Amino acid sequence: MTEVEYFMSFVKLEICDEIAVVTIDREKALNALNKKVLKDLDDVFKSIDVDQVRVVVLTGAGKKAFVAGADIAEMREMSFLESKEFSKFGNGIFRGIELFPVPVIAAINGFALGGGNELAMSCDIRICSENALFGQPETSLGIIPGFGGTQRLVKVMGSLSRAKELIYTGKTIGAQEALRLGLVSAVYKQEELLDRALEMAGLIAANAPIAVKNSKYAVNYGGEMAVEDGLDIEAIEFAQCFETADHLEGMNAFLEKRSEKNFTNK
Ligand code: CO8
């Protein structure tokens, strides 16, 4: 990496009202994740005010790639300890995105390979463009998925067999196959993708923010526990909503038959 690159940020943040768009912008390397890109991504997420922003859309710069993986050139010379550190570094950031208080929508605009697919899987919802390609090609490089792929792929797709097939073969799959496997929830034309992501973000942002945050918490944390414990988490998050002004606003709007609601995030 040149000195100039070291000082520039590879991740852009745009905020429009209650929606943040985070763009990984290292187009000449197909947005591959080196340490600097990961650090920038972490910094950008940490800078987002989750009292103001209600949804994040995460995408890649250009029309070719969401993220083409971790930076192979940077990884090549890593030792056991360095690669372990790198894996933990990326995993910490991706886990931060997974647990980010407000929903994160991945708008996958092209290659989502290796660490790119793993990043997408850390997001709450994945939608992609028709040209998107997915895969965990790590075994073809002599390594394994190291940013959560061995754990999240099976959870996202709900099939151990399919997750193992993708990891062991290292093969890539197209957008329609990713849709069929449940890796993404929708496929759009490239030029429509961001608008569709913003549209979805708008639907989420229109709902009671605390209810959305509590739903995410219950799904994420509850989903990692035994069912009884998960249901306890749900009961607590559910009950907390009854202490908000927004639950009265939402229910009053229904009872008064008015469609416009004034949620105040309180
Ligand atoms: N790392 C570094 N550089 C990359 C990467 C990458 N992952 N992907 C693309 N680039 C660079 C290319 O080297 C090229 O640079 P240059 O112009 O300087 O030669 C530029 O991006 C454009 O790429 P191509 O010319 O190759 O573009 P093509 O359209 O011909 O091909 C592909 C696009 C198919 C995406 C191809 O670039 C490719 O196969 N890339 C690698 C994909 C890959 O294997 N990804 C997985 C990487 S491993 C990983 O992600 C592990 C995650 C866990 C890490 C755990 C840490 C321990």
Same domain, residue pair 197 and 247: no
Same domain, residue pair 76 and 184: yes
Looking at the structure of the chain, the number of domains it has is 2
Same domain, residue pair 41 and 163: yes
Residue 261 domain flag = no
The residues with which 186 forms a beta bridge, in sequence order, are 127
Write the pLDDT tens digit of every residue in 137-178.
Answer: 999 999 999 999 999 999 999 999 999 999 999 999 999 999
Same domain, residue pair 115 and 145: yes
Q: What is the pLDDT of residue 4?
A: 57
Q: Are 136 and 145 in contact (CB under 8 A)?
A: yes
* Distance, C-alpha 164 to centroid of its chain: 21
Residue 265 domain flag = no
Q: Are 115 and 152 in contact (CB under 8 A)?
A: no
Same domain, residue pair 39 and 141: yes
Same domain, residue pair 113 and 52: yes
Q: Is 85 helix (H, G, I), strand (E, B) or coil?
A: helix
Give distance in angstroms: CA of 27 to centre of ligand 1.
11
Same domain, residue pair 198 and 214: no
Question: Is 118 an annotated catalytic residue?
Answer: yes
Give distance in angstroms: CA of 233 to centre of ligand 1.
41
Residue 245 domain flag = yes
Residue 47 domain flag = yes
Same domain, residue pair 20 and 100: yes
The residues with which 70 forms a beta bridge, in sequence order, are 33
Q: Are 109 and 66 in contact (CB under 8 A)?
A: yes
Write the pLDDT tens digit of every residue in 198-238.
Answer: 999 999 999 999 999 999 999 999 988 999 999 999 999 99
Question: Is 234 an annotated catalytic residue?
Answer: no
Band the pLDDT of 8: cuts 50, 70, 90: confident
Residue 264 domain flag = no
Pick the residue whose CA is nearest to atom 47 on ligand 1.
69
Closest-lying ligand 1 atom to the alpha carbon of residue 138:
48
- The per-residue pLDDT of the chain, averaged, comes to 96
Q: Is 37 in the pocket of ligand 1 (CB under 6 A)?
A: no
Same domain, residue pair 130 and 219: no
Overall pTM > 0.85:
yes
* Full domain range(s) for residue 167: 3-205
Please tell me the distance from the alpha carbon of residue 35 to that of residue 10, in angstroms, as a whole number. 11
Same domain, residue pair 231 and 176: no
Q: Is 204 in the pocket of ligand 1 (CB under 6 A)?
A: no
Q: Is 40 in the pocket of ligand 1 (CB under 6 A)?
A: no
Same domain, residue pair 117 and 16: yes
Q: Is 114 in the pocket of ligand 1 (CB under 6 A)?
A: yes
Cβ atoms < 10 Å from Cβ of 168: 10
Pick the residue whose CA is nearest to atom 25 on ligand 1.
29
Give distance in angstroms: CA of 175 to centre of ligand 1.
19
Please tell me the distance from the alpha carbon of residue 265 to that of residue 211, in angstroms, as a whole number. 9
Same domain, residue pair 137 and 190: yes
